[in-house]
Chain A
Amino acid sequence: MNRILLFVPLVIFLLMGLVFWIGLGKEDKTSLPSPLIGKAFPEFQLGVVEDGRTLTTEDLKGAPVLVNVWATWCPTCKAEHAFLNELAAGGIRIIGINYKDDVAKAQDWLAAFGNPYVYNLSDPDGKLGLELGVYGAPETFLVDSQGIIRDKHIGDLNPQVWARLKPRFEGMK
């Protein structure tokens, strides 16, 4: 066997390490959680889970809204769902994006666990999710009445996270 070949694992490892290193450095420089903050919500034209009608970006505008990305395959979404119900009961406007999911399953889920959403956009192939830079469900975007993204939270919404986001949400027009 050639000794050069024995260096192959090392080289592969070093390349991977480089990717991590750059990834780490890159992340440090961005103080904002998403480059989308301050930008308009991406254009979309998607079906609604509940009744199948088609909505576009225009329908989002008019009042501040929480846009929550979720899926039935996502355990954390399950954990945050009860809290979303509470928020909705408290008058917060929440719109769901059912991400990479099956409409029938999503309808079952909403029937079983309650529906805190004004409506749910069905994003079965994750196109809107991709434009929003969704890493994994759940993620929540704070969108103002003009359809501009003001903040973003990755992971579940819970009372602690909400305590931080609430002033921002209430301050939005």
Chain B
Amino acid sequence: MGDIALFLPEIGQTALILAFIMAVFQVVVPLVGVGAGRLWLMGYARPFAVGQALFLVISLVMLTLAFLQDDFTVAYVAANSNSLLPVPYKISAVWGAHEGSLLLWVTMLGLWSVAVALLSRSLPLDMVARVLAIMGMVSVGFILFTLETSNPFARTLPTPPVDGADLNPLLQDFGLIVHPPTLYMGYVGLSVAFAFALAALMSGRLDAAWARWSRPWTTAAWIFLTVGIALGSWWAYYELGWGGWWFWDPVENASLMPWLVATALLHSLAVTEKRGMFKSWTVLLAIFAFSLSLLGTFLVRSGVLTSVHAFASDPERGVFILALLGICVGGSLLLYAFKAPTVASVGRYELLSREMFLLLNNLLLVVMALAVLTGTLYPLVYDFMGLGKLSVGAAWFNTMFVPLTVALVALMGVGAATRWKSDSASRLVKLLAIAAVAAVVFAVVATLVGHGDLNGKVLLGLSIAFWLILATLADIWKKSRGELSRIPKLGMSYLGMVLAHVGVAVSIIGVTLVANYSIDKSVRMSPGETATLGPYTFEFTQAGTIEGPNYVSQATRFNVTRDGEFVALLTPEKRRYNARGSIMTEAAIDVSLFRDVYVSMGESLDDGAWGMRLQVKPFMRWVWLGAIFMALGGLLATLDKRYRRRSKN
């Protein structure tokens, strides 16, 4: 390592301080401009946003270089890397713990600000100035937090360790290279919707134009959240070695809450844009969505939700977090209380109208988010009330979620086909009755043919999924008047909605089948033995050792067959990571669209035998495939022409 290299973290630190100064200017100058009505001052919002982002990127690059060069004089590198760590994981280790992930978070905020600065040419300048100033405020808080309590560039000098403690082995995986940044992009992206909402409140211009501006940004953030959550679930599935894909643990809940509220916000924005209604409600959702993102990022990282102890270990950090949350959420709610319009919206709608269905959608989604929030915070509140300590298990969340989801999806099918303002019941019945009947018939047939018996839960899950798909198809059929060539003309927004709704159905099919029809077995096996599970035969062909870059693993090989036909050769491993001595299970999975065959190693028993866990999980991929559909649907919707039209002001 050269002498210059030793200096790089100082550059990173300096860049972070400069970014902070830029962020302060990004707040003050445009707001002074707005207050004094000076366009030239407002015009500075964009260059300051670009400058801030530039310094943040430099800072992040410097931290990455410190990892790549094994600069163990940097405490954060020493705690989260090791000279033997493979290069891709040295990069992902940058956001492997608290300090670095905060830096990544602010850098992304900087990049979103630049995106707003560059893509806002159609917006009035005073609006751009306000939006960027608000994003700058968030930035100021976060950079200050990073510098004050969580500096990733702090040194271990004068006695740096010879080698690093290594990255937590759980995190040494492709899924973890991509999952946190994607999720963070979603969290941070919601700050744009938040900034737009506050800017509209400040200017008193809560109108359809505001909704149209913030819609594509909200959708973009929502896409990242959707993909991020799906990636997290996929990662947990194969890396934790237990075959579960959702654990309702606080970390997951923290990402689910903003997603639920952001989904409600997307739909509420639709009403505000098309009909100029639900304005106060939409603003409130925008504030909540971002507040929950903050809660997600912060409280999980600082551990208040999982265990109060991680919080207490650094009370300074806890107090700072609370203060930041208080200023950000409290400040915006105070602004809301004083500035939100009290005049009832001029638009009218009847009981049977799209507005009504979207209102119900919003209510259900918010109730779901509240259910998650309650389940997550309940142990904390329970303790606070002096009632003792307890934990809320998956059973509680499932009891809450299943009926709410059924209701939501049942309404989705009708809602999307219903007209604005008012619609006639007889028209809807004519359009959708066949879909409803066919959905149930298909579900019965699919359950009988596929599994040979009628399971009530499966029947319910498949019925609502099929209902959603068929109702959506019926609506397309009606709108395109039965001509395929007309479908592209229905508009990107509409097609995006269709795809996202079908995605919801696909995920529900996956969740239903994998939850009810998964089979598994734990067996003791020696090399040469076979075990059967369902139609599959697992032959334990050999056991051996594999030497990895920073681990040694004991591996076994399995030949999986079905009715004598070869299916897959699977090699599950059990790795012992050298630096920490911790042991990780690497499951081996044969993936296909209709089932996953999953083999993971348990404990080494005597005489070379192993405890093995074998699982067959039908339709597992559909859970994530649905999320991909939803994300692609969102992408289509953001590409709609009307968002690129210039507004006249």
Q: Which residues of chain A have a CB within 8 Å of any CB of chain B?
A: 1-3, 6-7, 9-10, 13-14, 16-17, 19-24, 26-28, 30, 33, 73, 75, 78-79, 81-83, 85, 100, 108-109, 111-114, 126, 130, 133-137, 154-155, 158-160
Contacts and interface: CB of A to CB of B under 8 A. Distances in A.
B522 A158 contact: no
9 contacts: A1-B344, A13-B291, A23-B384, A24-B312, A28-B315, A75-B244, A100-B391, A113-B602, A113-B603
Contact of B336 (A6, A100, A114, A158): A6
Contact of B389 (A19, A21, A130): A130
A155 B247 CA distance: 16
A114 B583 CA distance: 14
B563 to A, nearest CB: 26
Given A111-B524, A113-B611, A9 B336 contact: yes
Contacts of B389: 130, 133-135
A162 B547 CA distance: 26
Nearest to B394: A73
B307 A136 contact: yes
B388 A75 contact: no
Q: Lowest 9 CB-CB distances: which A-B pairs, in order?
A: A114-B603, A112-B522, A112-B602, A82-B583, A112-B611, A10-B333, A113-B602, A27-B312, A159-B581
Nearest to B614: A112
Interface stretch (B80-88, B321-329, B353-361): B321-329
B586 to A, nearest CB: 13
A100 B523 CA distance: 24
Contacts of B159: none
Interface stretch (B68-76, B220-228, B235-243, B460-468): B235-243
Contact of B391 (A26, A28, A136): A136
Contacts of B344: 1
Contacts of A75: 236, 240, 242, 244, 247, 249
Contacts of A112: 522-523, 602-603, 611-613
A13 B383 contact: no
Interface of B: 170, 236, 240-242, 244, 247, 249, 280, 284, 287, 291, 304, 306-309, 311-312, 315, 318-319, 322, 325-326, 329-330, 333-334, 336-338, 340, 342-344, 377, 379-381, 383-384, 388-391, 393-394, 522-524, 574, 580-585, 602-605, 611-613
Given A13-B330, A24-B311, A109 B522 contact: yes
B505 to A, nearest CB: 28
Contacts of A154: 307, 309
Contact of A85 (B383, B391, B393, B603): B603
Given A73-B244, A112-B603, A130-B390, 20 more contacts: A1-B344, A3-B342, A6-B342, A9-B284, A9-B337, A10-B333, A17-B330, A19-B381, A27-B315, A75-B244, A79-B240, A81-B603, A83-B582, A108-B522, A112-B602, A112-B612, A133-B388, A135-B306, A135-B308, A158-B582
B611 A9 contact: no
Nearest to A16: B377
Contact of A73 (B383, B388, B393, B585): B393
A16 B330 CA distance: 11
B322 A24 contact: yes
Contacts of B280: 1, 6
A16 B603 CA distance: 45
Given A6-B340, A133-B388, A20 B394 contact: no
Considering residues B338, B381, B582, which has the most beta carbons from chain A within 10 angstroms of its beta carbon? B582
Nearest to A5: B342
Contacts of B236: 75
A108 B614 CA distance: 12
Nearest to B388: A130
B384 A19 contact: yes
A107 B343 CA distance: 63
Contacts of A155: 307
Nearest to B520: A108
A108 B613 CA distance: 9
A135 B391 contact: yes
A88 B329 CA distance: 49
A109 B602 CA distance: 9
Contacts of B304: 20, 23-24
A16 B236 CA distance: 31
Contacts of B603: 81-82, 85, 112-114
B495 to A, nearest CB: 35
A135 B379 contact: yes
A114 B284 contact: no
Contacts of A111: 522, 524, 611
Nearest to A1: B342
Given A1-B342, A79-B170, A114-B611, A27 B308 contact: yes
Contacts of A114: 602-605, 611
B337 A3 contact: yes
A78 B241 contact: yes
Contacts of A108: 522
